[in-house]
């Protein structure tokens, strides 16, 4: 077929080949997407509440999920206003939470419903024409066995880097789940033309606060690395920064609360990634989605001068 | 177990009774008369006794007959059939050489009875010459994708090479390349298979009625044989396509005594795209594979084969901003090597010993370099599997009408589900941790293939002894296929097979990404097991030179695995160090069942050749922890599957081919609802009533069925004989009428808003291709 080409035909052939390749690249690199319709059926009820010792107000969110097809801006909450929300506890008895339209929650004062570590609380939400929504949670005890040590430092022309290792000593024999947060308080002194200005700011020392479970490391010590950079600035004024203290906050999570928050984290990571396994966020409520969770917080402030190397 | 032993006893009794009859065996090798290559799958038939056999992977055949005068008829697609009269008085060896046919489509095959008389059912076979004419995505010929066009074999996502056979998963296919198990048969995330068509001589897929010599997977056996190399002359073939180029070269090392074949293929996305990319952003992807095979005729009775395969995929990206350089990459690699020794121990007894090494590794890495302060962060995740196996296989033809096969295999598996290397110079953090485990499998098998008058059967037993740590399993697998010839044009067959699978693939996507990990069966994640019943009808249309088959099946499986809801293997972060990942806790096991029927009219020869196929199937699974423990459709449950593949030689050296496929949509899990999920505190740990994220609610698993899939591909091949060899231009079109087939469904935000919407993505619209192949 191509044996008897004259030169003109060859030129035409080459042009045709180039056009063909361009067309190929154009089509092959195009991503075709279209929006699809799915059945518009009412969504499940979603109930969310977290308890922790000493909380001022106990709040319960009750709302209804809506179809992906619904013309509703995501993030909008459709509150359920006519539910009967009760929380029961051996100490406080069964108490009803009242709906507050200002923040679309059912709430009760923390003095009336006192949240205490080690106590079990049961939640029930009654909505007309819907099976009773129920759940129970035991509020965990706070864990005070944690701290932080300075491991290294490095000084360059305009910056000082400090490296730390935070630790959590796990209690053996019971399931524990944690999340650790840390901030440093930094004081900056700037010499302006006319005055000395002193400002303080908080800087996070962990790039990321992972959810930690002792499921396979019961009774061990968990470590988390941290770092802090303190700058010396020369423009527009000569400024000098000093770290004053480290603030650590250890959140001790009840078992399902950990599972739920981990699933939310996984969901967030997997969103938009077509190759990731879809994440189904679990629920510990019967007849509804959401969570009835609990945790306990311990905060520690460690002065910079007390940080040992 | 007792029942299996009883079956074995019965057929051995039958075997010993038959042995009393005075008989002689005729055996030998069937080879290409020019190149000396063995011809596996050739039909050897004796008209007078109405018996026949099919040669094994090494071209060996054996027939045991009473003494007398016979005419042996030998046929093989693409070769001139041969009739050999011979006198049988004692055990004899008769090697047969077949001449390749010059005009393939004009050959009339007379000795076809052996196909109907072969008790094997559920087998799909595509002659390589036919596979080469099927239109392919971007012109890259792919035997695995050709199987996707046959009934009973479902494809996964659009364009990918995953095979889902009779309701099974993609990990339930035993893919063997020259006796070595392939653990990831995909290039480019599954869009192309590992197998370079130029290097392949023979390929078949068994989807039911498995003979006892095969084991280790539940759903199918894909047996691929590489070319051996021409023993008399040097030949080659080179091809240039849009995405890859390939070359194959073969020839004698010592004429008539030894030969070699070497074939390689490489993509050039990375090389072609480099000039168009800025220095700051450089994604680069390539894959290559290399096949090598040599064989040596040591003497009359012994022949040595050495084969090797290396295939690698690598994706690297690099981006930089100021002094920060970010690099990311992922890769996967298969290495296979084996040594095989064929021995004709005596006339009628063939032995093959094989030592196999197979390794699969995959991984990904992230690297960040700060050139200003000369520090870097580097993290690597990898996983892999090593398989070292020793196999012995025997074929014995000592009793009239019986072919006895027996053998053993011993496999040692070393699994490395996770290895993490961390070098963080910013925080002085260094880590190098890995997990590994071992398991072993010892299997023995025996099978008897028997053809007598109108009856035929293959009865076998495979006995497995498996260990993983302190966990021991002993599993027997009885296999029975019985057939009956109706007239001389058709037959009916029925089979019962039991299969076990002792390794699992933990796959989050089904696309064999590096996050997919092979793991051994353990005490808590038991070996998978399946039982399949099938019944079939075959008919031969001599004038059409075509075969028709109709098969129905019912398959149940136990201990099949799936992810628990919410499980996530893919994202490994600081909160999931390797010692904390509990694989067994992330999966749950359950049951599966599948049933359906498949019809196929296959014309392997003639100016017009191809096939028409239709499959109806239903497959479902049940897991206690998912969908309230109810049965629900499995991932690739497709009700209807139609395929039409035709190739027409309209002029000498001019060929046009077309394939059309239609499949019912398959189930996927999609969210129907969305809402907010409250968090107790913000990212700094402060209690916050307004901290929440938008999440979607999925409801039940596999709650949505994708759009139906259909596609027409066309190809035109223009071949011209040259002084030395020939050249072929192939112009092809994939998805000729540009149907937007679904590739995936996912949730996204409507552009410029927070509103969540469901989207369907099409990956391959109308795609033309052009390929040039030169044979020399």
Report d(CA B457, CA B486) in Å as an integer: 15
For the beta carbon of residue A31, count every other beta carbon within 10 angstroms.
9
The torsion of the CA quartet B416, B418, B419, B425, rounded to 10 degrees, works out to 180
Question: For residue B88, is it within any domain?
Answer: yes
Tell me whether residues A274 and B428 touch, CB distance under 8 A.
no
> Is the CB of A119 inside 8 Å of chain B's CB atoms?
no
> Is the CB of B357 inside 8 Å of chain A's CB atoms?
no
Contacts of B582 in chain A (CB under 8 A): 215-216
Contacts of A291 in chain B (CB under 8 A): 677-678
Comparing CA positions, the residue from B433, B464, B452, B447 lying closest to residue B403 is B447
What is the pLDDT averaged over residues A185-209? 85
pLDDT on residue B145:
84
Report d(CA B54, CA B61) in Å as an integer: 7
> Is the CB of A19 inside 8 Å of chain B's CB atoms?
no
Contacts of A249 in chain B (CB under 8 A): 685
Tell me whether residues A3 and B574 touch, CB distance under 8 A.
no
Contacts of B684 in chain A (CB under 8 A): 181, 183, 204
CATH of residue B68: 2.60.40.1120
- Chain A segment 158-177 residues within 8 A of B by beta carbon are 163
> Is the CB of A65 inside 8 Å of chain B's CB atoms?
yes
Work out the mean pLDDT of chain A and round it to a whole number. 83
Q: Which residue in chain B is spatially nearest to A210 when comparing CA positions?
A: B575
Question: For residue B158, is it within any domain?
Answer: no
Tell me whether residues A68 and B689 touch, CB distance under 8 A.
no
Could you tell me if B552 and B535 are in contact, meaning their C-beta atoms sit under 8 angstroms apart?
Answer: yes
> Is the CB of B706 inside 8 Å of chain A's CB atoms?
no
> Is the CB of B567 inside 8 Å of chain A's CB atoms?
yes
Question: For residue B24, is it within any domain?
Answer: yes
Mutate to test the interface with A, among B158, B561, B678, B702 (most CBs of A within 10 A): B678
**Three-state DSSP state, B389:** strand
Mutate to test the interface with B, among A36, A47, A156, A157 (most CBs of B within 10 A): A36
> Is the CB of A17 inside 8 Å of chain B's CB atoms?
yes
pLDDT on residue B12:
47
pLDDT on residue B276:
67
The alpha-carbon gap from A119 to the nearest alpha carbon of chain B, in Å, equals 19
> Is the CB of B650 inside 8 Å of chain A's CB atoms?
no
Tell me whether residues B749 and A267 touch, CB distance under 8 A.
no
**Residue B700: alpha-carbon gap to chain centroid:** 32
Q: Which residue in chain B is spatially nearest to A263 when comparing CA positions?
A: B566
Contacts of A209 in chain B (CB under 8 A): 683, 685
Q: Which residues contact B552 (CB under 8 A, 6 or more apart)?
A: B534, B535, B536, B595, B596, B597, B598
Domain containing residue B8: 2-112
Question: For residue B60, is it within any domain?
Answer: yes
Report d(CA B269, CA B570) in Å as an integer: 27
> Is the CB of A36 inside 8 Å of chain B's CB atoms?
yes
Tell me whether residues A274 and B746 touch, CB distance under 8 A.
yes
pLDDT on residue A72:
62
Q: Which residue in chain A is spatially nearest to B626 when comparing CA positions?
A: A280
> Is the CB of A39 inside 8 Å of chain B's CB atoms?
yes
Tell me whether residues A281 and B744 touch, CB distance under 8 A.
no
Per the omega criterion (within 30 degrees of 0), is the bond before B228 cis?
no
pLDDT on residue A59:
93
Number of structural domains found in chain B: 1
Could you tell me if B181 and B131 are in contact, meaning their C-beta atoms sit under 8 angstroms apart?
Answer: no
pLDDT on residue A214:
87
The torsion of the CA quartet B6, B9, B15, B17, rounded to 10 degrees, works out to -100
Task: Please name the member of B428, B759, B767 whose beta carbon is closest to the beta carbon of A35.
Answer: B759
pLDDT on residue B359:
95
Per residue in A21-38, pLDDT tens?
555 555 555 557 788 777
Mutate to test the interface with B, among A14, A140, A275, A278 (most CBs of B within 10 A): A278
Burial of B500 by CB count in 10 Å (0-12 exposed, 13-18 middle, 19+ buried)?
buried
Question: For residue B125, is it within any domain?
Answer: no
Residue A49's pLDDT band (cuts 50, 70, 90):
very high
Tell me whether residues A227 and B745 touch, CB distance under 8 A.
no
Could you tell me if B619 and B588 are in contact, meaning their C-beta atoms sit under 8 angstroms apart?
Answer: no
Tell me whether residues B568 and A35 touch, CB distance under 8 A.
no
Q: A with B: how many residue pairs have Cβ under 8 Å apart?
A: 213
Could you tell me if B184 and B632 are in contact, meaning their C-beta atoms sit under 8 angstroms apart?
Answer: no
Please give the C-alpha separations between residue B469 and each of A98, B323, B522, in angstroms, as whole numbers.
58, 49, 8
Question: For residue B592, is it within any domain?
Answer: no
> Is the CB of B746 inside 8 Å of chain A's CB atoms?
yes
Q: Which residue in chain B is spatially nearest to A274 when comparing CA positions?
A: B746
Question: For residue B108, is it within any domain?
Answer: yes
Contacts of A79 in chain B (CB under 8 A): none
Mutate to test the interface with A, among B374, B680, B746 (most CBs of A within 10 A): B680
pLDDT on residue B484:
93
Tell me whether residues A75 and B428 touch, CB distance under 8 A.
no
> Is the CB of B366 inside 8 Å of chain A's CB atoms?
no
**Three-state DSSP state, A267:** helix
Please give the C-alpha separations between residue A114 and each of A74, A109, A119, B560, B576, in angstroms, as whole numbers.
35, 8, 10, 48, 35
Contacts of A19 in chain B (CB under 8 A): none
pLDDT on residue B752:
67
Contacts of B137 in chain A (CB under 8 A): none
Q: Which residue in chain A is spatially nearest to B581 when comparing CA positions?
A: A216
Contacts of B685 in chain A (CB under 8 A): 179, 181, 209, 249, 251, 297
Report d(CA B746, CA B752) in Å as an integer: 18
Report d(CA B750, CA B737) in Å as an integer: 29
For the record, the structure tokens of B213 come out as: 């010599």
Mutate to test the interface with B, among A4, A28, A80, A227 (most CBs of B within 10 A): A28
Tell me whether residues A43 and B675 touch, CB distance under 8 A.
yes
Could you tell me if B28 and B61 are in contact, meaning their C-beta atoms sit under 8 angstroms apart?
Answer: yes
The alpha-carbon gap from A195 to the nearest alpha carbon of chain B, in Å, equals 33
**Three-state DSSP state, A211:** strand
Contacts of A21 in chain B (CB under 8 A): 242
Task: Please name the member of A66, A163, A257 whose beta carbon is closest to the beta carbon of B675.
Answer: A66
- Chain B segment 398-427 residues within 8 A of A by beta carbon are 424, 426-427
> Is the CB of B626 inside 8 Å of chain A's CB atoms?
no
> Is the CB of B240 inside 8 Å of chain A's CB atoms?
no
The alpha-carbon gap from A211 to the nearest alpha carbon of chain B, in Å, equals 6
The alpha-carbon gap from A193 to the nearest alpha carbon of chain B, in Å, equals 32
What is the pLDDT averaged over residues A208-232? 84
pLDDT on residue A124:
96
Three-state SS sequence of A235-297: CCCEEEEEEEEEEEEEEEECHHHHHHHHHHHHHHHHCCCCCCCCCCCCCCCECCEEEEEEEEE
Question: For residue B252, is it within any domain?
Answer: no
How high is the mean pLDDT in each 10-residue block of chain B (776 residues)? 49 48 80 86 81 84 86 85 86 86 49 65 84 81 86 78 85 92 83 85 91 94 92 91 89 92 89 68 81 92 94 85 83 93 86 95 87 84 92 86 91 88 79 85 94 87 93 94 90 95 76 69 89 94 87 95 66 46 74 96 87 95 88 91 92 90 90 86 72 82 89 91 89 88 78 72 82 90
């Amino acid at each position: 077929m191509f044996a008897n080409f004259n030169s003109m035909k060859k030129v035409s052939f080459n042009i045709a080949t180039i056009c063909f390749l361009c067309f190929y690249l154009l089509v092959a690199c195009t991503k075709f997407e279209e929006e699809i319709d799915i059945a518009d059926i009412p969504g499940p009820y979603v109930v969310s509440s977290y308890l922790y010792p000493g909380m001022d107000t106990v709040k319960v969110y009750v709302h209804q999920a809506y179809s992906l097809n619904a013309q509703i801006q995501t993030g909008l909450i459709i509150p359920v206003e006519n539910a009967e929300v009760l929380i029961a506890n051996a100490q406080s008895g069964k108490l009803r939470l009242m709906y507050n339209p200002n923040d679309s929650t059912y709430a009760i004062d923390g003095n009336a419903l006192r949240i205490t570590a080690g106590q079990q609380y049961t939640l029930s939400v009654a909505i007309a024409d819907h099976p009773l929504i129920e759940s129970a949670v035991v509020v965990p005890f706070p864990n005070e066995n944690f701290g932080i040590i300075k491991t290294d430092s490095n000084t360059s022309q305009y910056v000082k880097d400090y490296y730390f290792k935070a630790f959590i000593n796990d209690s053996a024999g019971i399931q524990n789940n944690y999340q650790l947060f840390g901030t440093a308080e930094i004081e900056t002194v700037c010499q302006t033309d006319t005055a000395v200005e002193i400002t303080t700011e908080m800087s996070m020392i962990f790039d990321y606060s992972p959810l930690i479970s002792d499921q396979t490391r019961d009774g061990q010590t968990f470590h988390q690395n941290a770092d802090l950079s303190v700058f010396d600035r020369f423009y527009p004024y000569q400024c000098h920064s000093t770290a004053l203290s480290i603030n650590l906050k250890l959140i001790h999570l009840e078992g399902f609360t950990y599972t739920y928050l981990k699933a939310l984290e996984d969901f967030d990571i997997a969103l938009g990634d077509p190759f990731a396994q879809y994440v189904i966020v679990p629920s510990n409520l019967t007849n509804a989605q959401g969570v009835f969770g609990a945790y306990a917080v311990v905060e520690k402030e460690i002065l910079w001068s007390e940080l040992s190397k | 177990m007792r029942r299996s032993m009883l079956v074995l006893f019965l057929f051995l009794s039958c075997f010993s009774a038959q042995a009393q009859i005075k008989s002689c065996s005729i055996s030998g090798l069937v080879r290409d008369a020019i190149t000396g290559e063995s011809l596996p799958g050739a039909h050897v038939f004796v008209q007078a006794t109405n018996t026949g056999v099919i040669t094994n992977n090494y071209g060996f055949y054996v027939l045991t007959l009473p003494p007398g005068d016979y005419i042996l008829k030998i046929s093989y697609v693409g070769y001139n059939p041969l009739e050999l009269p011979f006198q049988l008085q004692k055990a004899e060896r008769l090697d047969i050489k077949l001449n390749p046919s010059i005009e393939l489509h004009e050959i009339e095959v007379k000795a076809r009875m052996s196909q109907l008389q072969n008790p094997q059912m559920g087998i799909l076979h595509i002659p390589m010459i036919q596979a080469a004419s099927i239109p392919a995505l971007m012109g890259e010929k792919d035997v695995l994708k050709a199987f996707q066009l046959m009934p009973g074999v479902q494809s996964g996502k659009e364009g990918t090479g995953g095979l889902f056979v009779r309701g099974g998963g993609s990990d339930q296919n035993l893919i063997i390349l020259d006796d070595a198990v392939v653990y990831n048969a995909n290039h480019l995330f599954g869009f192309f298979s590992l197998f370079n068509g130029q290097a392949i001589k023979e390929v078949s897929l068994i989807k039911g009625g498995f003979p006892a010599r095969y084991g280790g997977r539940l759903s199918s056996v894909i047996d691929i044989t590489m070319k051996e190399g021409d023993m008399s002359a040097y030949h080659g073939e080179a091809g240039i396509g849009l995405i890859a180029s390939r070359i194959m070269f073969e020839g004698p090392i010592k004429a008539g005594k030894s030969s070699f074949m070497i074939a390689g293929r490489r993509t050039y996305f990375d090389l072609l795209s480099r000039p168009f990319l800025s220095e700051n952003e450089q994604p680069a992807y390539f894959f290559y594979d290399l096949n090598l095979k040599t064989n040596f005729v040591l003497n009359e009775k012994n022949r040595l084969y050495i084969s090797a395969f290396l295939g690698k995929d690598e994706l690297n990206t690099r981006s930089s901003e100021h002094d920060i350089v970010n690099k990311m990459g992922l890769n996967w690699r298969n290495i296979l090597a084996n040594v095989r020794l064929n021995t004709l121990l005596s006339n009628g007894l063939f032995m093959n010993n094989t030592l196999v090494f197979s390794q699969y590794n995959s991984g990904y890495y992230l690297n960040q370099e700060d050139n200003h302060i000369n520090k870097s962060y580097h993290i690597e995740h990898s996983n892999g599997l090593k398989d070292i196996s020793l196999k012995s296989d025997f074929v014995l033809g000592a009793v009239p009408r019986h072919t006895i096969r027996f053998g053993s295999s011993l496999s040692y598996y070393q699994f490395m589900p996770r290895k993490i290397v961390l070098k963080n110079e910013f925080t002085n953090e260094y880590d190098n941790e890995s997990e590994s485990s071992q398991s072993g499998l010892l299997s023995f098998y025996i099978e008897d293939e028997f053809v007598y008058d109108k009856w035929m059967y293959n009865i076998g037993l495979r006995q497995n002894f498996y260990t993983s740590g302190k966990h021991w399993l002993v599993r027997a697998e009885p296999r029975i296929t019985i057939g009956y010839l109706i007239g001389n044009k058709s037959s009916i067959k029925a089979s019962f097979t039991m299969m076990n699978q002792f390794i699992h693939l933990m796959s989050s996507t089904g696309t064999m990404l590096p996050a997919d990990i092979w793991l051994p069966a353990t005490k808590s994640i038991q070996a998978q097991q399946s039982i399949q019943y099938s019944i079939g009808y075959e008919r031969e249309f001599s004038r059409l030179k075509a075969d028709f088959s109709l098969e129905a099946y019912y398959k149940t499986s136990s201990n099949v695995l799936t992810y628990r809801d919410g499980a996530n293997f893919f994202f490994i972060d600081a909160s999931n160090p390797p010692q904390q990942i509990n694989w067994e806790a992330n999966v749950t096991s359950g049951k599966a069942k599948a049933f359906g029927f498949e019809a196929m009219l296959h014309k392997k020869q003639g100016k017009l050749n191809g096939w028409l196929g239709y499959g109806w199937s239903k497959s479902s699974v049940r897991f206690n922890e998912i969908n309230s423990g109810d049965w629900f459709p499995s991932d690739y449950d497709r009700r209807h599957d139609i395929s039409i593949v035709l190739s027409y030689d309209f002029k000498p050296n001019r060929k046009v081919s077309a394939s059309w496929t239609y499949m019912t949509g398959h189930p996927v899990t999609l969210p129907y609802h969305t809402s907010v999920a409250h968090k107790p505190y913000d990212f700094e740990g402060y209690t916050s009533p307004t901290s929440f994220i938008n999440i979607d609610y999925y409801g039940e698993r596999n709650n949505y069925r994708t759009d139906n899939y259909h596609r027409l591909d066309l190809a035109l091949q223009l071949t011209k004989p040259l002084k030395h060899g020939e050249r072929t231009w192939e112009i092809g079109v994939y998805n000729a009428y540009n149907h937007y087939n679904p590739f995936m469904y996912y949730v996204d935000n409507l552009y410029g808003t927070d509103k969540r919407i469901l989207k369907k993505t099409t990956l391959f619209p109308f795609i033309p291709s052009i390929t040039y192949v030169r044979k020399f």
